[in-house]
Structure 1
Amino acid sequence: MKRIGIMLDWQIVQKAKDGKQSYEQLPYYVEIGKELGLEPVFFHPRHVNLHSDTVIGHFWNGRRLVSSKVPIPKVIHNRVLSGDPATRKMIRELGRSRKVFNGIVVRDKLKVHKMLWDNYLVRPYLPQTVAFQPRALERFLSTYPVIYVKPAVGSVGEGVVRIEPAGKQYWLISSGMKKVLPKSRLLRELERWVGSRRFIIQEAVPLACYRGSTFDIRVSVQKNGERKWGVSGMVAKVANPNNRLSNLARGGMAVSINAVFSSLFPEEKANRVKALLSHAAVEIAKQYEKFFPSLADLGLDMGIDKHGAPYLIEINVRDQRYSFYKAGEVEMFKRTYQRPMEYAKSFLK
């Protein structure tokens, strides 16, 4: 049985060695691997020894991970998300001698926006996005009804604030804060919030609502065994009514895409909207791939307006996938594990 490397975050490996669960479903890798004639080897980049061409690999024994020194696999799916320079350096080094897919990419939201904006076919899906500056903030407040201020690099909604009108004043909303401020205080508060960190200002997509709350859609876009992009699944994430954030870590709720769309559109229109979302997601993935050819597994946060027009909100290069599980979409959940394994196998034929 040929081996496939699965590089995981350090904490994930340590938890699994202790028999504890995380968002990574290691048994799925093993189960799918058996079907494909593959054996997954789990490890973190610090487990690698390039001089001896070996790795302290970890194998699932049904209850936990057990370790064994083995040759470095020829094909590796990178699931590590780390800013640690040594870890990133090792991932790059591995990419020189092995097929490492989903390698190191730029995660800066403004840079990603500019990369996507290069393609005129993708532009209609992109909300206006600029670097945070006081003048730009005032311009966005006078141009768009709702805006977001976000860290240039961040995930799970951490550090995100939403600004929307409250009469002649403004709501300032985050996961731990909700208050009304006059414009002058709002500007001062946001400058303090941002400080010297790199933030962006983004037009809020005019999202459709489900049962009175806005929602966005996690679209899993992955390459298959034929090395072609396709959509492995979609799931709606309904916003927490208190902070207006849809991230599950911030109180959002995962709901079946069919349940949401059937409440908004007739069946034929719902299918057309899903097809539009799929087309947009694949086009976005292809454009992003032009800058990072190792990409093969993405989680796109997308939205639709009340007419069903698709918009991109954010690209996630290490989709945690658990929104599919939370919504009860077990088949989609498993498919998000299967497609990367099929893609990996295509390099071993």
Structure 2
Amino acid sequence: MNSSQAQALLSKWHKTQLLLPHRGIKPFVPDTRRYTKANLKSMLEKYGMVYVKPERGTFGKGVMRVEQEEGQRFAYQHEEKRVEFKNVEALYASLSKKTGKKSYLIQKGIHLLRHQKRYFDIRVMVQRNAKGPWESTGIIGRLGHPRKIVTNYHSGGTPMALEELLKSHLSQSKQAELIKKLNALGITIASQLQKTYPNFRQIGVDIGLDRSFTPWIIEVNTKPDPYIFNQLKDKSMYRKVISYWRLANEKKKVTVPSEDKNKAKSKDKNNSKDKNNSNSNSNSKDAKKAKKAKKAKSS
């Protein structure tokens, strides 16, 4: 994958557009639009709650939950801070100070399932080796920080075994059915993206479950962190994930940075100069000795 393709895959908007044509994926993609005042207003009227997030970003940074409350009041939460507004114009003005000139998206809000009054979502790891088919190698729950709106581990979320988070909601047989469905969805997503980008080898699919257990694709990460699985007590899943991760990364050539190359060239050049100077000095000394010997003989 070249650098321009890698940059394109960092765009949440671009990845969403790649997924929508697939009939088996489209029903699970939340309504996602570009961040504008008109889109913000219409989506709040339609859904009541949305997420405003950077088009390019990681670790849940910059994500804001925006709500339209009763009596035409509005509010948004960013990290642990919540701010209220009397109208959508004031809301948009405040949000736009946060977004600045960066590109942001608005995504339909999902009322996620909870565990002990805390929201959680799911990471599905999908990987393949060079010649083999896609395989779901790991699935893990992410329990959000009690005062934050994101579940990401780097933002205070807690990785947990998915079965632990689901046991108060579903029987063991229903859990198994759901996990099978989530794994299959992850593989379908990877296969769809592979049509455009045939060389990538792994993705992490973030999925939220609503109160009817419908899966919603929150985000697809093309550079997923494998180490979240090391937080589980049972290390078997982590061992599988990390083995595929190493296979995917071992093909990348480790090159000497250009600065180091230039240093190496300069060093070789200097060594060559020193060697030439040494030879020149040695030859000069020999010539002087020969000249003195010649004078001694003539005298």
Q: Which runs of 5+ in 1 are unaligned?
A: 1-77, 79-86, 93-102
CA contact (8 A) 1:276 1:310 kept: no
More deviation in 122-131 or 175-184?
175-184
SS of alignment partner, residue 336 of structure 1: helix
**Alignment partner of 1:115 out of 18, 38, 42:** 18
User: For residue 271 of structure 1, what is the amino acid of its counterpart?
Assistant: A
Residues 1:221 and 2:221 aligned together: no
Q: TM-score, normalised by structure 2?
A: 0.77
Equivalent residue for 2:184? 279
For residues 187 and 180 of structure 1, what CA distance do their matches in structure 2 show?
12
Structure 1 contact 226–343 (Cα < 8 Å) conserved: no
Measure the CA separation in 1 of the matches of 2:94 and 2:163.
Answer: 40
2: distance between equivalents of 1:213 and 1:166? 21
Moved more, 217-226 or 238-247: 217-226
Q: CA offsets, 1:87-143, max 9 Å, x none?
A: 948xx9xxxxxxxxxx66521111111111111221011001011111001011101
Query: What is the Cα deviation at residue 149 of structure 1?
Result: 0.6
- How much does 1:297 deviate? 0.9
Which has the larger strand fraction?
1
| Structure (1/2) with the larger helix percentage | 2
| CA RMSD between the two structures | 2.3
- Out of 205, 208, 218, which is 1:300 matched to? 205
Aligned residue runs from structure 1 range 216-295, under 5 A: 216-224=121-129, 227-295=132-200
For residues 31-54 of structure 1, what are the alpha-carbon distances to aligned partners after superposition, in whole Å with 9 as ceiling and x for unaligned?
A: xxxxxxxxxxxxxxxxxxxxxxxx
Secondary structure of residue in 2 paired with 1:276: helix
Q: 2:167 aligns to what SS in structure 1?
A: helix
Q: Give, as a single letter, the amino acid of the residue that structure 1 aligns with 2:53.
A: K
Instruction: Give the C-alpha shift of residue 272 in structure 1.
Output: 0.6
CA contact (8 A) 2:136 2:187 kept: yes
Q: Partners in 1 of 2:172 and 2:131 — Cα distance? A: 31
Is residue 80–residue 147 contact of structure 2 (8 Å, CA) maintained in 1? no
Aligned counterpart in structure 1 of residue 31 of structure 2, from 108, 112, 128: 128
Query: What are the residue-to-residue correspondences of 1:131-280 with 2, within 5 Å?
Result: 131-168=34-71, 169-183=73-87, 184-224=89-129, 227-280=132-185
Write out aligned runs for 1:296-335 (5 A).
296-335=201-240
Q: Which residue of 2 is the match for residue 62 of structure 1?
A: none
d(CA) in 2 for partners of 1:327, 1:161: 29
Give CA-to-partner distance per residue, 1:8-55, whole Å, 9 cap, x none: xxxxxxxxxxxxxxxxxxxxxxxxxxxxxxxxxxxxxxxxxxxxxxxx
* Paired letter, 1:151: P
Percent identity between the two aligned chains: 23
Which of the two has higher C-alpha Rg? 2
SS at match of 1:189: helix
Count of equivalent residues: 249
CA contact (8 A) 1:207 1:216 kept: yes
Letter in 2 for 1:174: H
SS at match of 1:215: strand
TM-score, length-normalised on structure 1?
A: 0.66
Give the superposition deviation at 1:344.
8.0
